[in-house]
Structure 1
Amino acid sequence: MNDVVKPVATAHVDWSSKNYLVVDDFIGIRQLLRESLRNLGARHIDQASSGGEAMALLARTRYDVVLCDYNLGEGKNGQQVLEEARVRNLLIPSCVWMMVSAEKSTESVMGAAEHQPDAYLIKPITEGVLLTRLNRVWHKKQVFRKIDQAYAEKDFLRAARMCDEQIAVDKVHEIELLRMKALLLLKSGEPGKAREAYERVLQEREYQWARTGLAKIRMANGDYEQARQIFQTVISENRYYMDAYDNLARAYAAMGQSEEACNILERASKMSPNSVTRQRELGALSLKLGHVGMAEKAFRKCIAIGEYSVNKSPEPYLGLARVCGLKNDTKEAMALLTTAQREFTADLIGLRAKITEGLVYHESGDYRRARKAGDDLEEMLKAQPERPDVPTCMEMASLLFAVGVKEAPVELLSYVIRNNHDNMVLLDEVQRVFDKARLSEEGVALIKASKKEASDLMNQGVLLWKTGKLEEAVVWMRDARRELPNNLRILFNCAQILISHLQQMGYDEAIALEATEVLLHVDKVQPGQQRFAQLMEQLAALCPKVGEIVAQQDQAA
C-alpha cells in the first residue's frame, strides 16, 4: 500500500513545486496568466506562443498544469494541441488541462469538449475564477499521482491495481478511479474486468460514460444489437454525447447497415463538424455507398480542418481523388494525388497514390491508363520488398485483378493471409476479392496453404522452446518475425520466448530491448491486446529499464 495517495486538504497544496505551461498567442494574456499563477506561489512556468511551440515543450516536460488558449493564430489551435498531446501520451493522468477561450460558439466548445479538457474557461478570466477552478480540478486529479509512472511505462495492469488500492483509502474519488481503472483494463485487453468496473459505477449513478463503456465492450464481443440499443439510449438522454454517435455508427456498420451508419455520422458531423476522424469516416462510408456529393463534402471538410491536426492523413486526399474520378474530373483527381505525395512523406504514399490513380482511371472508363497504373504498381512491388498494410494490400490486389494482372495480387493476398492466419473475418474478405475476380477455387486453395505455412512457422519455434532448446527457439522466432513481421501470434510467441530467455539465462540488455521492441510493435499494430499487458508486466519485473525504453519510443513517435 506504499503507492496510495491519501486525500489532502486544499490548504496543503504546494503550488510552488508544480510545473506549469501557459499557451496563448498574445503576450499580454500570457503575462496575466503567469502573474495569476505566481500569486498562487508557482515558480516553474513555461510559456508558448503557438501550438507548435506548445507541442515541443509538452514532448520535453511532464507538466502538472496546462492553461491553453483555443485560438492560437496560424497553426494548431488549442483543441488540436490537446488532441495531439493525448494521442502521443504526453499527458500523465494527474495533469490538469484547462482550455481558455473567448470562443462561445457551439462547434468550438463541443470540438474542444470531445477531447475532455478538465475545465473550459471563457475569457475574460479573473484571478479569483482561475484559482477557484484550478483548486477544484487539481484535487480531483491528484488521486492519479502515484498511477502516473505505471501509466507512462504502459504497465496498465499495475496501474489498474493501484486504482483499487487508492479506492480503499479514498472513497470520495471512487468514481474517477473506477473510470480510470476501466480504461486501463481495456488498454490491457481485459474487457471482462473493465465491465465489472463500469457496472460498479452504474450501481451508484447513471453516468453516460460508464453506459457507453459497457456498450463498447458488448460491441467488441460481437453483440452489436445490444450495443446499438445502449448507444441510442445514451443519445436520447444526451443529444450532445458525441462518442456515442461515433460508436453507434460503428455498430450499424458492423451489422451491415451501412446506410444507417452513414446517417448517424452525417448527423454527428453537423452537430460537431471539427472532428477530423469523423469527417474522414463519413467520407469513406459515403464513397462506399455511392453518395458522391456527401463524400465530397466530408473529404473537403476533413482536408480543411486537418491541416494542423495530429490526425491529418492521406485518406481524405485519396478519397476525394476517387470522388473526382467518379465525376470524370481526372484533372483535379491527379492534382489531389500530387498534393498528397507532397504533403505526406510516408514510404507508402507513392504506392497508395498509384493505386488510387489506377482506380480513378478504371472508374472513369480510361482502361488503358488504368492498366498502365497496374504495370507501374507491379514494378513498385518488385522494387519494394516490404509489403504495405492490410487495407492497402487488399485495395491493390483488387485493382490488379481488375486490370488483368494475376500473379502480383495473389502474392499480396498470400502475404495478408500468412500475417493474419487466424483472423476469420479478414480471410472471408480475402475470399471475396478472389470471388470478384472469378478465381474462387484459387482463393480457397491459397487460404488453406497460406494458413498452414504460417501455423507451421510459429509451431516450430514454440516446439523448440517447450523442448528446452531456448537459444534455437530465439533464433527461429527472429527468422519467423522477419518473414511475417505483422503476425500477432508469432510476435507474441517471440516476446514470450525472449522473456523466458531472461528468466532462465539471466538479465541480458540486448534481449530485454528486443522483447520491448517486439511488444511495442504489437501495440502499434493492434492496441489493447490482453497478452500485451501480461507480457509487459512480466518484462517490467525483469527489466528495470523498460519504462525508459517506452518513454524513448513515445518521444520518437
Structure 2
Amino acid sequence: MSQMFAGKAPNAATARSVNWADKHYLVVDDCASIRQLLRESLRNMGAKLIDQATDGAEAVALISNNRYDIILCDYHLDGGRNGQQILEEARGNNWLKPSSMFVMVSAEKSAESVMGTAEYHPDAYLIKPITEGMLDTRLNRIWQKKQVFQQIDLAYAQKDYAGAAVQCDFQIAANPLHENDLLRMKATLLLKCGERDGARAIYEQVLGQRNCTWAKAGLAQLLMQDGDYAGASLMFQHVIEGNSLFLEAYDQLAAAHKQMGQQEQASTVLERAARMSPNSVARQNTLGEISLRLGNVASAEKAFRKCISVGEHSISKTADPYFGLARVCSIKKAPKEALQLLLTVQKKFAGEASDLRARVTEGLVYLDNDDRHSATVIAMEFEAMLATASAADLPSPNTCMDIATLLLEVGAKDPAIKLLCHIIQNNDDDKSVRDEVQKVFAYAQMAEEGAALIEEARKEAADIMNRGVLLWKTNKLDEAVDWMRAARHKMPGNLRVLLNTAQILISHVQKLGYDQAVLAEAAEVLAQVEKIAPGQRRHTELSSQLAAILPDSAPAGVSEFLDIDGHAMPGL
C-alpha cells in the first residue's frame, strides 16, 4: 500500500486557495444570535451547505450521520454534552474524516476549559467575539496544514503505518515549516510498525537540535515500555519542568510512580494535573482510586464525585467511580447513599462484571456498617462461586481483592488466600499489586503470613515460567507448547506467561513448519496481551515475527486475529 505514495508530495505553501463553497459545515451553539453570526460569516466566505445544532445531543446525531468538512462548536452548551465531550465522542467513534476541521468556539478563557479541550486536540480554539476575518484566516491556516497530513491520515486510517511513515519523509522535504509535527507523527508511526529504534533515533535527533517536550516524552515512554519506571519517572519530571502544561506527562509520571509502589507521589502528581484540567474522566477516577487506597477519603470523594459529574455525558463514562464513591460513603457511615449508588450502577451499567462488583461492594458496605449477617450471606455466595470457577472466569484484580477482603472478614480464610495468590501469580512482577495484596493480608491481621504467601506464589509462577522456557531452549518444542498452554490456563492474566507462550508458539512454526492452528493461537495470545497492557515492547516484536512467517494469503483461522500489518487486533 505504501506504493501509492511514490509520487512527489504536494507543497501546502503553494496550494490553491480554498474553495469554501464545496465544503459541508456544522455550527453548534445554543445561542441563536451566535449561530446566525457564524452562518453569515461562513456564507460571506462562500459557504453554501451549513447545518445547525442547538445542543450536544443534536450535534452528535448529526456528526454520526454526516462527514462534515468543518465543525464550529461552542464549548458551553445548555444541558447534556459540552463541546469537549462532543469532540471526544466524535474522535472516539471515528466520525471525523482525516481532512475534517473541528474548531472549538467559546467566550471562556479559563484554564479549565482551554486545557480540558486541548487534551482532545481540536484543530483550533477560538475566543468570542469572532470576526469574519479572524474566522477566514484561521480556517485557511488549518486547511493548509490538513493538506500536508491528508495522505498520512488516510494511510493511518487504513493501518498502513509503514506507508504513512514514508509519506512523512516526502512531506518533510516539501513542507519544511511543518517538519516538527511531521517528525512527531513519523515517530508515532514507526512505533506502530514495531520500529522502536527508528522512533528513538527521531527523538534523539530532535533533542540534539533543541529542547523538545514531545521528543523527551517519547523517550520516557520507551523507558516505560521497557519496565524502567525509575528512568521514565525522572524523564517525565524533566518534561514537566520544561513544560508544565504538557498534561500527558503527568498521567505517565503518575503511572510510573504507581508501578513502583509510590502511591503518595502518584496522588500528588494527579492532583496537580487535575487542578489544571479537572474534566478528564480517566484522571479523576485514577486519582480517586489512589486516594482511597491511601485512606484520603476526602480527596477520594471529591475525585469520584467530579468524575461522575463530568462523565455523565462522556463516551469515557464507566461504573468505576460509582463503586469508588460507594466505598467512600460506606467508610463515612452513609450506607443508604452507598447502596443507592450500587442500584444506580446496576441500572446504568448492566452486565455480569458490574453486577458481580456491585454485589461484593454491597457486602463491604454491610461490613463497614456492622451488618455482619448480610455480609456473611454475600460472602458465602462468593465462596460457592469460587469453588467451581476456573482462573479465566475470575474477575479483575481489584474485584478479586474486594472479594478476598470480604471472605477474610467473615472467616472464610482458605478461598480468600487462594484468590489472593491467584492475583499475585497473574501480576507477579507488579509491585503496586503486591503492595495492595499485602494490605489485604495486613487488614486481616495476617501481615507476616501474607508476605510469605506472596513470595511463595511468586516463586511458583517463576518456576512454571522457567520450566516452559527451559523446554523451549532445549528444543523440546511440543512439550514447551503443552507446558505453556497449561501455564496460560492457570495464569491467564500473567503478561510474561502470555508473551513467552506466543514466543514458543511462533518458534514452533519457525522450526517445525507451518501450522495454521498454532499461528492462530499465537495471534490470539498476542491479542490478549494488547488487551491487558497495550504498547508492550515484546508484543510489538513478536507481532512482527508472526507477520514475517505468515503466507501471502493467511487462512481465516489466522487472519481474523490480525490487522494488515500482522499485529494482533486489540479488541479481542
- Smaller-chain TM-score range? 0.7 to 0.9
1:418–1:453 CA contact under 8 A, matched in 2:
no
Instruction: Say yes or no: does 1:524 pair with 2:531.
Output: yes
Equivalent residues, number: 550
* CA distance in structure 2 between the partners assigned to 1:455 and 1:398 by the alignment: 31
Q: Which amino acid aligns with 2:536?
A: Q
- The answer to whether the 8 A contact 1:519-1:536 is kept is yes
Percent of paired sites with the same residue? 47
1:348 is paired with a residue of what secondary structure? helix
Deviates more, 1:480-489 or 1:541-550: 541-550
- Aligned partners of 1:146 and 1:496: how far apart in 2? 38
CA contact (8 A) 2:26 2:52 kept: yes
| SS at structure 2 position matched to 1:407 | helix
342-351 vs 534-543, which deviates more? 534-543
Given the two structures, how large is their TM-score scaled by the length of structure 1? Answer: 0.79
CA distance in 1, matches of 2:78, 2:566: 33
d(CA) in 2 for partners of 1:231, 1:447: 30
Match of 2:109 among 104, 107, 110: 104
For each residue in 1:130-172, what CA deviation from the matched residue of structure 2 results, as whole angstroms up to 9, or x when unmatched? Answer: 3321221222233333333443354545544543454355433
In structure 2, what residue type is equivalent to 1:529? Q
Q: Which amino acid aligns with 1:3?
A: F
Q: Residue in 1 aligned with 2:248? A: 243
Confirm whether residue 390 of structure 1 aligns to residue 392 of structure 2. no
Q: Which residue of 2 aligns with 1:180?
A: 185
Structure 1 residues 54, 494: closer, same or farther in 2, change over 3 A? Answer: farther
C-alpha spacing 1:514/1:406, structure 2 compared with 1 (3 Å): same
Unaligned stretches of 5+ in structure 1?
Answer: none
Q: Counterpart in 2 of 1:405?
A: 412
State how 1:486-501 maps to structure 2 within 5 Å. Answer: 486-489=493-496, 491-492=498-499, 493-494=501-502, 497=505
**1:176 Cα deviation (Å)?**
0.5
Contact 1:421 1:454 survives alignment (8 Å):
no
Of 406-415 and 327-336, more deviation after overlay is shown by 406-415
CA distance in 2, matches of 1:227, 1:448: 28
Where do 1:31-70 residues align within 5 Å? 50-52=55-57, 54-55=59-60, 65-70=70-75
Deviation at 1:500, TM superposition (A): 8.4
Give the alignment partner of residue 135 of structure 2, picking from 123, 130, 139: 130
- Superposed, 1:22-171 pairs within 5 Å as 22=26, 24-26=28-30, 50-52=55-57, 54-55=59-60, 65-88=70-93, 95-154=100-159, 156=161, 159-160=164-165, 162-164=167-169, 166-171=171-176
AA aligned opposite 2:12: V
Q: Which residue of 2 aligns with 1:300?
A: 305
SS at match of 2:5: coil
Residues 1:313 and 2:318 aligned together? yes
Of residues 8, 15, 20 in structure 1, which corresponds to 2:12? 8
Q: Which moved more, 1:363-372 or 1:428-437?
A: 428-437
Assess, with a 3 A threshold, how the Cα gap between structure 1 residues 487 and 102 changes in structure 2: closer, same or farther.
same
Once the 2 structures are TM-superposed, how far is the Cα of residue 275 of structure 1 from its aligned partner? 2.0
Q: Pick closer, same or farther for the CA change 1:16–1:119 going to 2, 3 Å.
A: closer
* Greater mean alpha carbon deviation, residues 94-103 or residues 483-492: 483-492
Letter in 2 for 1:6: P
Comparing 276-285 with 248-257, which one deviates more in the overlay? 248-257
Look up the SS of the partner of 2:125 in the other structure: strand
Whether the 8 Å CA contact 2:99–2:146 is kept in 1: the answer is yes
8 Å CA contact retained: 1:20, 1:64: yes
3-state DSSP of counterpart to 2:282: helix
8 Å CA contact 1:22–1:34 kept in 2: the answer is no
Q: Is the partner of 2:283 in helix, strand or coil?
A: helix
Q: TM-score, normalised by structure 2?
A: 0.77
Counterparts in 2 of 1:378 and 1:105: CA distance versus 1, 3 Å: same
Shift of 1:118: 1.7
CA spacing shift, 1:357–1:134, aligned 2, 3 Å = same
Say yes or no: does 1:350 pair with 2:352.
Answer: no
Aligned to 1:200: 205
Q: What letter is aligned with 2:364?
A: L
TM superposition shift of 1:404:
2.0
Q: Give the distance between the partners of 1:34 and 1:487, measured in 2 at CA.
A: 56
Q: Match of 1:376, as an amino acid? A: E
Unaligned 5+ segments in structure 2 are none
Letter in 1 for 2:149: F
Is the 8 Å Cα contact of residues 154 and 550 (structure 1) preserved in structure 2?
A: no
Q: Deviations over 1:223-277 (max 9, x none)?
A: 6566555555554555444334444444554555544443343333233222222
Moved more, 105-114 or 412-421: 412-421
| AA matched with 1:404 | G
Cα-to-partner distance string for 1:494-520 (whole Å, 9 max, x where unaligned): 598489879998898x99887766544
Rate the CA distance shift 1:506–1:239 in 2: closer, same or farther, 3 A: closer
